[in-house]
Structure 1
């Protein structure tokens, strides 16, 4: 009764106000046609029907009674038992689907472990490494997708069950209102992470296909191209990570209702403002791109830059990291790499100078030096590491140590030191057996009598 009285009073107040306003604006009526009069009468009937307070009161009253009836029905024991049954069936369905997803995940993991090929001696190391990385990235993507499916299943099912009962429905509405933004941000973050790892898998698959397919590889350049492909793979992954993180950030801002168009315009102005103080970074990136594109050096090369040198362990657009013979990790900005010496590009060379005593037979010494090199080229342990027959240049100098004979041995990249050490060992044994000794520094002093 109270609600009906308030509805009647409110409707009457609105009607009276409308009538007073219409009365205050009375003006002489112009001449109109019959059709206009009939149309005016129809509109007046419709207005009277809508403005009738009793009709409006009946509509409001019917709505309140309907809502009250639904509320009373939801609080009845029969309705609660029915909703409880629906909730039980939904819970059972959630548990069943979750168990199926978990079982499917375990089945895929077992198949992946069986499909991973075993490493053999014929398998190229870089191909094996790329395949292993590809499998790791794919497993990580599948793991995150399964975890996301489980979270969505249990979270969505819980919200649906909360909406079945009148006492927990406000809790459902509150959770949706509070967790709306975190859910959006979480979806964007997980999607970005999955996209990055899947892109990594695609890059590894592409590079391993190039290496193992042999389309671009020849016996002379296979090792070099493998190093270049490994370097390009790492740089490409860095670039794609930056792109996906930027895309994810823009999607996160869009999900928060922020207009990103002004942000993109301001980002352009900010980039121009930061271009001056970040000139060194720009130089590093440009020079790093040229180093990789021109194949000045790659991962695994032995280089010398200025007064430092070592094995290249990391190379990206900003800097190069080398490990020297003492184990020190040296970081060099790419903009500082102006003159670089690559000691392992495509092939290497052992440059040896052998001292022989002045009293020795030079021709015999030259023959023994050449024979030791030829014996190494025929040794199965060393023939793959020596690319060409050793080149004995002959007598290079006369010094205080004796006659200096020079020999050059062309080897595989980074094998020049091992080949040189083995050659010296064999040559020392051969010269000792022939009675030719390697002299020590000597000096002759002449004394004149006065």
Structure 2
């Protein structure tokens, strides 16, 4: 669909080129002044240049000091506006442009019918660094003014206005067609993104990484289409208002008004797209690392958790880096001198490091937690008096969800001793109380049978990694004989295995008439 849209854009461009008249150069956006005279300057004696405009187009440039340039441009343009009104709106007006020398400086005089107006005096600043003399510069300005006034008069003719109106109508029609196609693409991408978002819940890591990669790529396409839509409307508006001499000045105003906001917006959007593309690259690299043809099952299980954690942390770091780069680039494109800013980053870094020692300790400890694979998202851990499922980890904090549903946030600098209950494999540790009166050999045989049956069960055998170990009588307690059983399981499956084993053991004991021991006490009474 993107290729079709590009083809339509090419067709639209060719159509415009066919319809445009020979003087289609009017559609080109006019150049702005070389010097931003609307920006404040500290050096009022600096020499600057600015354009003298007619109908929004630059006729010629004049030069002056920074403190005088605005006033000189205003005076010349007021005279030019008066001349153009006389010449444009008188049907039989005649135009004569002459050069007269006063005090060794050429003066340009424009005569419309019988009314003569001095347009400007050419100074030495106007020819500085241009490699021409005053006479040559005067002749150039005469030709430029003559051409500009004749062009302006021709553009105001009815035939020209009708022709430009037809061109504007065609451009607007193409705009509506292209906008309709872009909106259709945006709608399709929205539908696809919603479908991907629904499928991302509780997916295997390989599927999740692939979906995440597709999501980020589609997000980039979605934002580019939004930018294209805005660009189409803005570009068409600028071109249409630039067609007519009456509205062309609005083109300059719009460009001047939107220059800085547009640059900041483009940098911001570019930063966002780079972040999304980086997310897609991280997902792609993670997918390449996760190869089930190479890795064994246990390592696969652990790698899933590590990839989730590393992916989350990597995306956080990438986001911070790109945002910082985006801020620096944005300041640079709007004209801010970033050299002192970059020089002050070192000093600022020292100050921040002194004020953020706890944050630095958190980040360093978080880095080693991830590198050493102490735990990852999806593990169940115990840190001090807190335990639960790791829901989120970054360079600063670890967040746990305990059995009561509470979200516990622990700074990484506080993670000194951690117990991981689900790293690589887990173990179901069972203590089975048996009455002292029971035949211990019969009980052990029955426990062996139950363990063997459960190991062979298709539902449970994939979660049991090794043959259960019957350790024997582990203790004599007030409840009776304690038989210890170890069952090696997949991570986080030890509790399910324990519950099922106890259920089966209770059924087997009832079938054989063997009671499970209850807490008991014996009381001896003696004659007092």
| Length-normalised TM-score, structure 1 | 0.83
**2:228 paired residue number:** 149
Aligned residues: 407
Q: Encode CA deviations 1:390-425: one digit per residue, 9 max, x unaligned.
A: 111111111111111111111111111111111111
Q: Does 1:392 align with 2:482?
A: no
Distance 1:63 1:388 in 2: 93
Partner secondary structure for residue 217 of structure 1: coil
Structure 1 or 2: more helix by fraction: 1
Counterpart of 2:158 (choices 62, 77, 80) is: 77
Counterpart of 2:284 (choices 182, 205, 210) is: 205
**2:500 paired residue number:** 422
**2:73 paired residue number:** none
Change (3 A) 1:222 1:51: closer
Q: Does 1:170 align with 2:260?
A: no
CA contact (8 A) 1:210 1:216 kept: no
Q: Which structure has the bigger radius of gyration? A: 1
Distance 1:310 1:247 in 2: 38
Q: Encode CA deviations 1:58-77: one digit per residue, 9 max, x unaligned.
A: 87666554443333222221
Q: Does 1:232 align with 2:310?
A: yes
CA contact (8 A) 2:393 2:399 kept: yes
Task: Give the CA deviation at 1:8.
Answer: 6.8
Q: Does 1:323 align with 2:404?
A: no
Task: Give the CA deviation at 1:302.
Answer: 0.6
Distance 2:357 2:305 in 1: 30
Runs of 5+ in structure 2 lacking a partner? 1-81, 84-94, 107-131
CA contact (8 A) 1:126 1:226 kept: yes
Task: Give the CA deviation at 1:362.
Answer: 0.8
Q: Encode CA deviations 1:191-212: one digit per residue, 9 max, x unaligned.
A: 111111121112112212322x
Task: Give the CA deviation at 1:277.
Answer: 1.6
**1:94 paired residue number:** 175
Counterpart of 1:130 (choices 197, 209, 234) is: 209
Counterpart of 2:356 (choices 278, 281, 292) is: 278
Distance 1:130 1:15 in 2: 75
Partner secondary structure for residue 377 of structure 2: coil
Partner secondary structure for residue 178 of structure 1: helix
Change (3 A) 1:142 1:357: same
Counterpart of 2:333 (choices 244, 255, 264) is: 255
Change (3 A) 1:131 1:8: closer
Task: Give the CA deviation at 1:105.
Answer: 6.1
Distance 2:400 2:186 in 1: 42
Change (3 A) 1:5 1:146: closer
Partner secondary structure for residue 462 of structure 2: coil
Change (3 A) 1:372 1:50: closer
**1:300 paired residue number:** 378
Counterpart of 2:431 (choices 342, 353, 357) is: 353
Task: Give the CA deviation at 1:220.
Answer: 2.4
CA contact (8 A) 2:241 2:251 kept: yes
| Length-normalised TM-score, structure 2 | 0.71
**1:244 paired residue number:** 322
Q: Encode CA deviations 1:211-259: one digit per residue, 9 max, x unaligned.
A: 2x33652122111111111111111111111111111111100111111
Structure 1 or 2: more strand by fraction: 2
Q: Does 1:373 align with 2:454?
A: no
RMSD: 3.0
Task: Give the CA deviation at 1:264.
Answer: 1.0
